[in-house]
């Protein structure tokens, strides 16, 4: 079994390359993909694979950070799409065989901070 970090890096590499055979090979049969902000859940390897295959094209992913321990990993990715740079955080759970069993992914929207802390922060 490879490390959880190596597995999620391979997951994103296959996703970026649109190598759906490799991508599907990293998923457990009963994988569950959660998108809390849209309240969507995709269940099963075939459905998760199809969800990604049918997603509108034109995006590119870069892994900013990946960490793993045991059968758990997390990534911070940046997605370039239609001139925008979107960040996402994903949490992965792997099964006993080292396959991705569960993914929970957050795509936060940028927002303006509340007033009153300008003296404490640097905006970028």
Largest Cα–Cα distance of the chain, in whole Å? 51
Residue 38 burial (C-beta neighbours within 10 Å; 0-12, 13-18, 19+): exposed
What gap in Å lies between CA 57 and CA 65, rounded to an integer?
23
Q: Is the dihedral of CA 74, 94, 33, 28 positive or negative?
A: positive
pLDDT digits (tens, 9 = 90+) for 29-60: 999 999 998 899 999 999 999 999 998 889 99
% of the chain residues with pLDDT over 70: 99
pTM for this entry: 0.89
pLDDT digits (tens, 9 = 90+) for 102-116: 999 999 877 787 788
Domains of the chain listed by start with CATH number? 4-109 (3.10.450.50)
């Amino acid at each position: 079994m490879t490390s959880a970090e190596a597995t999620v890096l391979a997951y994103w590499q296959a996703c970026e390359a649109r190598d759906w055979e490799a991508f599907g090979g990293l998923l457990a049969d009963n994988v569950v993909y959660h998108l809390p902000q849209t309240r969507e859940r995709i269940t099963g390897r075939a459905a998760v694979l199809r969800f990604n295959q049918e997603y509108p094209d034109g995006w590119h992913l870069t892994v900013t950070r990946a960490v793993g321990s045991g059968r758990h990993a997390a990534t911070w990715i940046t997605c370039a799409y239609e001139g925008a740079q979107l960040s996402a955080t994903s949490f992965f759970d792997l099964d006993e065989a080292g396959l991705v069993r569960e993914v929970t992914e957050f795509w936060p929207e940028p927002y303006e901070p509340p007033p009153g802390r300008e003296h404490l922060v640097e905006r970028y």
